[in-house]
């Protein structure tokens, strides 16, 4: 078997030591505008129609649904005619196709292996961290991926209602991995892989129908690892299915389960950081300290409690 030199390995993994000098590797993290990821050409026609209908709804009837006036009834009818309304069976088949299409991605398989190994090791390290446990584990996985040479970081999205077109304020944390794709296409842009722990829990709703439970059970029970296009489709399919499920139960779709809100979790404005420890509010304020011992390839990155944490995979 031919051995690869350092430059060849770097091109495959997308990690270059000299890039440590770039701003998004600073300890405090760097901010990225995710607005372009939500709006514009990246959305399909049906996505844009959904966003328009959600945002343009100013009047609601007694059931809380949008009421069209005589002036916009015809316009709304035309817009609805081009919106694809998938049934639950169609959604399941489409969700299946989305995940099947990602098979054969060798780099994704490499990341999945790295994440699973990291989680197996971390379950023996962390215990007694309370609400901070998830953040510590997330950073532990990120650190492990970086030790393997991947350009991984913790991404923290955050948006405010006053600047996000009326969306409820929110935020989310996940891991992303950047891969240099210049050798795969002519754009020179970096591919971005998303890693989200406890993925299916992000889509749980009240009183789900059996059809929605079927979709939810099809999602990765533990960790999602995939590219942007795949994640966007999954979020859209699940958001639409959640709306149908709640409506069939006579319940309203809460703001934090709408498609635009869910898309913002991963594609909103974000800060990218490689800090191994959580920030202020979860350890940076000195309220607790963690002591990590080196276990099977893990370097100790923090100092106080050792124990275990389990995440479904």
Range with the lowest mean pLDDT among 17-21, 57-61, 255-259, 292-296?
17-21
- pLDDT given at position 277: 76
The first and second tokens of residue 270, run together, are 């974000």
- pLDDT given at position 165: 75
Number of Cβ within 10 Å of residue 83's Cβ equals: 14
**Is residue 79 in some structural domain?**
no
E-state strands within 19-169: 30-32, 151-159
**Is residue 205 in some structural domain?**
yes
Q: Does position 242 have pLDDT exceeding 60, yes or no?
A: yes
Range with the lowest mean pLDDT among 20-29, 181-190, 227-236?
20-29
- pLDDT given at position 241: 95
Q: Which of 127, 134, 243 is nearest to 199 (CA)?
A: 134
- pLDDT given at position 312: 35
At 3, is the secondary structure helix, strand, or coil? coil
Measured between its terminal Cα atoms, the distance across the chain in Å is 32
Q: Does position 247 have pLDDT exceeding 80, yes or no?
A: yes
**Is residue 57 in some structural domain?**
no
Number of Cβ within 10 Å of residue 101's Cβ equals: 12
| Inter-residue contact 159 to 268 (CB < 8 Å) | yes
**Is residue 264 in some structural domain?**
yes
Q: Does position 197 have pLDDT exceeding 50, yes or no?
A: yes
State CA 270 to chain mean position distance.
Answer: 12
**Is residue 149 in some structural domain?**
yes
Predicted model pTM = 0.66
| Number of domains within the chain | 1
Instruction: Report the share of the chain in percent with pLDDT over 90.
Output: 42
More confident residue, 79 or 172: 172
- What secondary structure letter does DSSP report for 53? H
**Is residue 98 in some structural domain?**
yes
Number of Cβ within 10 Å of residue 174's Cβ equals: 21
| Inter-residue contact 265 to 255 (CB < 8 Å) | no
Q: Does position 72 have pLDDT exceeding 50, yes or no?
A: no
The per-residue pLDDT for range 73-91, each reduced to its tens digit, is 433 333 333 334 456 778 8
What length is written for the chain? 313
Q: Does position 7 have pLDDT exceeding 50, yes or no?
A: yes
The per-residue pLDDT for range 251-297, each reduced to its tens digit, is 999 999 999 999 999 999 999 999 887 765 565 444 444 444 444 44
At 6, is the pLDDT very low, low, confident or very high (cuts 50, 70, 90)? low
**What is the torsional sign of CA 31, 38, 162, 242?**
negative
Q: Which of 273, 280, 276, 194 is nearest to 23 (CA)?
A: 273
DSSP for 146-212?
HHTT-EEEEEEEEE-GGGTTTPPPEEEEEEEEEEE-TTTSSS-PEEEEEEETT-GGGG--SS--HHH
- Residues of the domain holding 215: 84-313
**What is the torsional sign of CA 33, 39, 40, 44?**
positive
Average pLDDT over residues 228-232: 95
**Is residue 11 in some structural domain?**
no
**Is residue 6 in some structural domain?**
no
């Amino acid at each position: 078997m031919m051995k690869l030199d350092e430059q060849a390995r770097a091109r495959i993994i997308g990690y270059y030591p000299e890039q440590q000098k770039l701003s998004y590797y600073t300890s405090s993290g760097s901010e990225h505008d995710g607005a372009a990821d939500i709006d514009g050409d990246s959305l399909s026609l049906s996505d844009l129609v959904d966003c328009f209908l959600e945002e343009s709804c100013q009047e609601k009837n007694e059931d809380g649904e949008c009421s069209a006036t005589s002036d916009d009834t015809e316009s709304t009818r035309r817009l609805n005619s081009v919106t694809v309304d998938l049934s639950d069976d169609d959604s399941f088949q489409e969700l299946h196709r989305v995940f099947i299409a990602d098979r054969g991605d060798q780099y994704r398989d490499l990341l999945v292996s790295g994440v699973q190994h990291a989680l197996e090791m971390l379950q023996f390290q962390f215990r007694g961290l309370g609400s901070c446990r998830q953040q510590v584990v997330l950073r532990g996985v990120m650190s492990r991926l970086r030790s393997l040479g991947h350009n991984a970081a913790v991404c923290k999205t955050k948006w405010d209602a006053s600047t996000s077109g009326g969306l409820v304020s929110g935020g989310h944390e996940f891991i992303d991995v950047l891969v240099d794709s210049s050798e795969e296409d002519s754009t020179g842009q970096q591919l971005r892989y998303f890693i989200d722990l406890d993925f299916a829990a992000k889509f749980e709703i009240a009183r789900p129908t059996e059809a929605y439970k079927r979709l939810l059970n099809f999602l990765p029970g533990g960790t999602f690892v995939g590219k942007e296009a795949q994640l966007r489709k999954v979020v859209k399919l699940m958001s639409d299915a959640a709306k149908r499920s709640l409506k069939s139960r006579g319940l309203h779709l809460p703001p934090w389960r709408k498609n635009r809100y869910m898309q913002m979790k991963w594609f909103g404005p974000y800060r990218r950081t490689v800090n191994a420890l959580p920030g202020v509010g979860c350890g940076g304020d000195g309220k607790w300290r963690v002591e990590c011992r080196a276990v099977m390839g893990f370097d100790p990155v923090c100092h106080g409690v050792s124990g275990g944490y389990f995440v479904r995979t």
